[in-house]
């Protein structure tokens, strides 16, 4: 299935079931503004929107959220932000001031969540910024205490990348020459900046370092230049369409370094579906412990509801964040200030295990994953329970 078809499916599926209103007095209104069209639609359609849909269905099938001893079903109000931050902000304001929703779920991507932070804070809504990844997180949560981050910092992801490459280098699986490319937006800039410092400190040689414009469709020029540098490793901080294009192009030009780290998008089921055996050994951000009971249940459940498997990085964390929101509401009621405090300080049992935020940040994370067989296993941090050992990338299939 193509990314465009995935986006179209996720945007349209289950709308009638989710949006059918319950009796007003028994309804908990929850809204979101998300990218159903535009360049962010593919990522939102895989990672974010399906989990909103699965969670709403699960809650309503169970009779609703228990608010003060009363079960309240969820009524959904949603808007397409068209991958535009101004449209997203307007939609969030409308959800709060006109639709008067009880809670607002976040948009997709780092840039959109950072743009949303001031308005979420001004309106007094908790912001579960699951798909945001920024080293500014510690300072931002001090400024906006309603804001929480769930995927770790770019520096932590880079720590995992460096840890993985260092382990492979010491074992003689790769050399020290690395080619790095990054999309020229907030995500790519933050990740590549952290990577330069981390790789240098670990003794790696950055033989190629180039950014490419957001929305680029032809990856051949940048990959040919990277290939000419004769690296042992290709490290790409890319968005889903780019990640697919990089893999396609690398196969076409027979660019086959001993290790490849690509993402976002590597953990998507569509990636494995498209590239099959060629996905073996490809690394990316995130991962999961496929043997964890909650993850096993979640993957199967997502497939039953949506019709396809979830991605193996931010999808389970997105669903877990909604479990946290639900448990917080059930503990303290609909008062948003009380919910924010509970999210920040409480301990919650979720599909990824116990979640207890530290300084408004989730620490139960995988930083690096790798396709090994049919699963995208977490391989870093190496000391995290369930971590697999990294393997070299085989020749293209």
Domain boundaries, the chain: 25-153+293-356, 154-286+367-380
Report the percent of the chain where pLDDT is more than 70: 94
Do the Cβ atoms of 86 and 107 come closer than 8 Å? no
| Site of tokens 């020029």 | 221
Q: DSSP alpha helices (H): ranges in 220-335? A: 220-228, 240-252, 269-275, 293-306, 314-332
Q: How far apart are alpha carbons 12 and 251 in whole angstroms? A: 33
Task: Summarize pLDDT for 208-237 with one digit per residue, the tens.
Answer: 999 999 889 899 999 999 999 999 999 999
CATH topology of domain 154-286+367-380: Rossmann fold (3.40.50)
Task: Summarize pLDDT for 13-22 with one digit per residue, the tens.
Answer: 444 344 444 4
Residue 376's pLDDT is 94
Task: Summarize pLDDT for 271-301 with one digit per residue, the tens.
Answer: 999 999 999 999 999 999 988 999 999 999 9
Model's pTM, two decimal places? 0.84
Residue 14's pLDDT is 43
Q: How far apart are alpha carbons 137 and 205 in whole angstroms? A: 29
Q: Which CATH number fits domain 25-153+293-356: 3.10.105.10, 1.10.150.240, 3.40.50.2300, 3.40.50.1820?
A: 3.40.50.2300
Residue 165's pLDDT is 97
Residue 331's pLDDT is 98
Counts of helices then strands in the chain (DSSP H, E): 15, 15
Task: Summarize pLDDT for 56-114 with one digit per residue, the tens.
Answer: 999 999 999 999 999 999 999 999 999 999 999 999 999 999 999 999 999 999 899 99
The DSSP secondary-structure symbol of 45 reads: I
Q: What's the N-to-C CA distance of the chain in angstroms?
A: 20
Q: How far apart are alpha carbons 292 and 320 in whole angstroms? A: 14
Give the confidence band of 12 by pLDDT, cuts at 50, 70, 90.
very low
Residue 326's pLDDT is 98
Give the confidence band of 341 by pLDDT, cuts at 50, 70, 90.
very high
Residue 190's pLDDT is 85
Residue 263's pLDDT is 86
- 8 burial (CB, 10 Å; 0-12 / 13-18 / 19+) is middle
- Which has the closest alpha carbon to 263: 166, 195, 357? 195
CA 379 to chain centre: 17
The DSSP secondary-structure symbol of 334 reads: S
Give the confidence band of 25 by pLDDT, cuts at 50, 70, 90.
low
Residue 240's pLDDT is 86
Angle at Cα 80 formed by Cα 326 and Cα 33, nearest 5°? 30
The beta-strand segments (E) located in the chain are 27-34, 65-67, 70-80, 103-105, 127-129, 147-149, 177-183, 205-212, 233-237, 259-261, 283-285, 348-350, 353-355, 368-372, 375-380
- Which has the closest alpha carbon to 154: 183, 181, 190? 190
Q: How far apart are alpha carbons 210 and 343 in whole angstroms? A: 39
Is-same-fold flag (25-153+293-356; 154-286+367-380)?
A: yes
Task: Summarize pLDDT for 127-178 with one digit per residue, the tens.
Answer: 999 999 888 999 999 999 999 999 999 889 999 999 999 999 999 999 999 9
Residue 10's pLDDT is 39
Q: How far apart are alpha carbons 52 and 345 in whole angstroms? A: 23
Q: How far apart are alpha carbons 121 and 129 in whole angstroms? A: 12
Which of 189-198, 333-342, 361-370 has the weakest average pLDDT? Answer: 189-198
Task: Summarize pLDDT for 344-375 with one digit per residue, the tens.
Answer: 999 999 999 999 999 999 999 999 999 999 89
């Amino acid at each position: 299935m193509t990314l465009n078809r995935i986006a179209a499916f996720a945007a349209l599926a289950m709308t009638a079931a989710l949006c059918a209103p319950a009796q007003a007095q028994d309804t908990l209104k929850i809204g979101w503004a998300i990218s159903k069209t535009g360049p962010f639609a593919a990522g939102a359609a895989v990672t974010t929107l399906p989990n909103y849909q699965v969670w709403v269905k699960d809650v309503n099938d169970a009779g609703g959220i228990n608010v003060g001893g009363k079960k309240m079903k969820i009524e959904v109000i949603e808007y397409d932000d068209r991958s535009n931050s101004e449209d997203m902000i307007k939609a969030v304001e409308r959800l709060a001031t006109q639709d008067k929703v009880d809670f607002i779920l976040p948009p997709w991507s780092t840039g959109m969540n950072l743009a949303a932070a001031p308005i979420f804070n001004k309106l007094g809504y908790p912001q579960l910024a699951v798909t945001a990844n920024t080293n500014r997180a510690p300072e931002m949560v001090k400024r906006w205490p309603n804001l929480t981050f769930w995927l770790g910092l770019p520096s932590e992801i880079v720590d995992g990348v460096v840890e993985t490459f260092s382990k492979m280098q010491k074992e003689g699986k790769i050399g020290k020459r690395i080619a790095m490319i990054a999309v020229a937006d907030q995500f790519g800039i933050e990740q590549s900046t952290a990577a330069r410092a981390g790789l240098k400190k670990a003794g790696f040689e950055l033989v190629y370092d180039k950014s490419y414009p957001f929305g680029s469709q032809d990856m051949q020029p940048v990959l040919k230049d990277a290939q000419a540098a004769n690296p042992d490793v290709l490290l790409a901080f890319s968005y889903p369409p780019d990640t697919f294009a990089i893999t396609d192009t690398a196969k076409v030009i027979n660019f086959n370094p001993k290790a490849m780290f690509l993402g976002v998008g590597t953990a998507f089921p569509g990636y494995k579906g498209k590239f099959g055996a060629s996905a073996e050994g490809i690394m990316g951000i995130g991962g999961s412990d496929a043997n964890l009971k909650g993850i096993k249940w979640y993957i199967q459940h997502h497939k039953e509801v949506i019709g396809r498997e979830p991605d193996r990085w931010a999808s389970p964390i997105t669903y877990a964040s909604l479990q946290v929101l639900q448990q917080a509401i059930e503990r303290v009621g609909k008062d948003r200030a009380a919910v924010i405090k509970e999210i920040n300080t409480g301990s919650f049992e979720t599909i990824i295990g116990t979640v207890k935020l530290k300084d408004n940040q989730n620490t139960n994370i995988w930083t690096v994953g790798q396709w090994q067989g049919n699963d995208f296993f977490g391989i870093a941090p190496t000391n995290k329970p369930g971590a697999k050992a990294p393997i070299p990338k085989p020749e293209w299939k």
